[in-house]
Amino acid sequence: MRCKKIFLLLLLALSMLGTSMHAWAEDESFGIMRFTREEFREFAADHEFAPHAPMALESSFANGFESSLNLLSYLQYTPSEHNQGQCGNCWAWAGTGAAAIDLNVQKGVKDRLSVQYISACNTAKTCCQGGWLADLATFYTSKGYIIPWSNTNAYWQNGDGNCNVSCASIGTSPNYPITSFERQAITTHNISQAQAIANIKSILNQNKAVWFAFFLPKESNWTQFYNFWGADGESTPFSFDFTNGQSEDGGFGGHAVLCVGYDETSWIMLNSWGSNSGRPNGLFRVPIDMNYNLYHYEGDDGVKYASLFFQYLDITWGQTPTASYTYYIPYLIENTSGAWTGLGLRNLSTSATANVTARYYAQSGAAIGTNTVSIDPRGHNSFIARTSYIKAARGWIKVESTQELRGVALFTDDTATYMGDMDFVPSDSVSKNMVLPHFGQDKQWDTSIYMINPNSTFASTVTLTKRDDSGASMGSETYTLSAMTSAIYPLSDFGSYGIGSVDITTSLATTGFALFTNKKTGKSYFAGLMIPAVGK
């Protein structure tokens, strides 16, 4: 990781709490925190004077806790992307992870939370400056909410160490309201090892992840830890005990990680240095049987400073606004020839802001992108759908809003030569019975039906029956459409050619769109016709 911040401990003069904190540096390979001695003393003092969790009862030392515990399943994260890069903000990564686990535990919401938001919007620090869990608590207390990683521009972008993302460019809707956001210290200094272990386990057994900061006095110590991270596997523990009593050299630094659990011998730590072949989950272990009173010296003054710090978050979440309106757009295109899909949205409310999330899905059902916007009462917003497939997508769109919308989707054909449009389909308009009023199949025209199954669990059958002008069947075919997928069904695949209409019958409520192809020009899907529902 690239969090070069150091959090020292032990009695500090309160006057030092006013010293400005500005020093930080980067290692070429991993982000750690680099502090001046004054900065470290401030952090150490903050830990000592912070509210502390109650001490675990002595009766719990031996058999009072589960023999193993792992909170990682509560965290939504992508190991390879959980990487601070050259930025010294490990403290924010570990703290944001703790908040995300708490959001899932308390509210049942499993969502990846943004680290970019505090990096770009915290005016108390530069974006990659080292910090402490108290800095995270101060920031989110002032904001009153925390935002998802999927919000506009809220994904991590400062991994190169550059502060080139403006706060104003980050979308703050949707968000998760916060009533209170406090950091608490866990007592581990100047007590027995058994008591320190019990104090940490007590917090973890409340389903709260533990923020852990460690400081190494020498550059050679960091080299040893870097080598351990790069060469060993996730089951191998790393002990910091060998640094006990050492004096600082120019390599003094600190790093914060997230303790997500334990087994019989080790604490399980989530790092923010991404993943590698030996660490697919971005984890490492620290022995439970370690020296919790580990200390180092600043120099030759004979004063000891604590090297290990354990803290956690105590959060009260507010009421999260829920999406009351859902709409579907059964067609999405984006490719390297310039094809695109755009959305135009109008908020019908005269008094309330609409918090809108557009979710993009590939035909396979894979989630490939998200846009989030806020629209003022009677207001409008428009944007181009951008997917993670980097201009190589075809699929469908789901739009969720806290207020009623009217919306239109504009799309081009494969070569961006023609443009078509379609209205949003409200979720209460999806149907098991639909009619395509007109199709054409001859030497010039062909028709395809594009269907989506927005149901999250079950597959749906799709039966297409072509009918001529008299209503007689021209052929029928049944398909299976998996949950959350879409498919194109060319009417040329079955039955006879001609002009007529199509009955569409499905086992689950679905929706669709008709696309026409001009076979003479070779231009495809340049006009469309909605499929109106017949009953429910």
Nearest to 421 by CA among 434, 433, 412: 412
Of the chain, the end-to-end C-alpha distance in Å amounts to 54
- Is the four-CA dihedral 255, 256, 257, 260 of positive or negative sign? positive
Do residues 310 and 211 make contact, with C-beta atoms less than 8 angstroms apart? yes
H/E segment holding residue 225:
helix 219-231
Grade residue 474 by pLDDT with cuts at 50, 70 and 90: very high
Residue 284 DSSP code: E
Q: Over the chain, what is the mean pLDDT?
A: 87
Does residue 280 register a pLDDT over 50?
A: yes
Both tokens assigned to 198:
């019990």
Going along the chain from its start, the domains and CATH numbers come out as 3-316 (3.90.70.10), 325-426 (2.60.290.11), 430-530 (2.60.290.11)
Cβ-based neighbours of 384, under 8 Å, separated by 6 or more: 340, 341, 342
Does residue 389 register a pLDDT over 70?
A: no
Nearest to 32 by CA among 104, 87, 76, 70: 87
Instruction: Identify the residue with better confidence: 388 or 333.
Output: 333
Q: In the chain, what percentage of residues exceed pLDDT 90?
A: 62
Label the pairing between strands 325-334 and 354-362.
unpaired
Q: Three-state SS for 399?
A: strand
Both tokens assigned to 71:
């909170």
Distance CA 469, CA 40 (A): 83
Nearest to 506 by CA among 489, 494, 492: 489
H/E segment holding residue 511:
strand 498-518
In the chain, count of helices (H) and strands (E)? 7, 28
Identify any residues that bridge with 32 across adjacent strands, giving them in sequence order. 3
Does residue 454 register a pLDDT over 60?
A: yes
Distance CA 40, CA 91 (A): 14
Q: What are the C-alpha distances in Å from 464 to residues 389, 428, 436, 467? A: 31, 22, 10, 10
Give the model's pLDDT for residue 195. 96
112-146 pLDDT per residue, tens: 999 999 999 999 988 899 999 999 999 999 999 99
Helix axes 133-143, 90-107, angle to 10 degrees: 60
CB-neighbour burial class of residue 231 (10 A; exposed 0-12, middle 13-18, buried 19+):
exposed
233-269 pLDDT per residue, tens: 999 999 999 999 999 998 999 999 999 999 999 999 9
Does residue 485 register a pLDDT over 90?
A: yes
Give the model's pLDDT for residue 25. 34
User: Can you give the length of the chain in residues?
Assistant: 536
E strands present in 233-294: 253-262, 266-270, 283-287
Q: What count of other Cβ atoms lies within 10 Å of the Cβ of residue 420?
A: 18
Label the pairing between strands 341-347 and 380-384.
antiparallel
212-225 pLDDT per residue, tens: 999 999 999 999 99
Say which residue the tokens 């443009």 belong to.
419
Give the model's pLDDT for residue 123. 92
H/E segment holding residue 46:
helix 37-49
Does residue 516 register a pLDDT over 90?
A: no
| DSSP class per residue in 439-476 | EEESSSEEEEEEEE---SS--EEEEEEEE-TTS-EEEE
Say which residue the tokens 């799709």 belong to.
462
Distance CA 345, CA 354 (A): 10
168-183 pLDDT per residue, tens: 999 887 889 999 999 9
Grade residue 203 by pLDDT with cuts at 50, 70 and 90: very high
Q: What count of other Cβ atoms lies within 10 Å of the Cβ of residue 392?
A: 13
Give the model's pLDDT for residue 527. 47
Grade residue 21 by pLDDT with cuts at 50, 70 and 90: very low
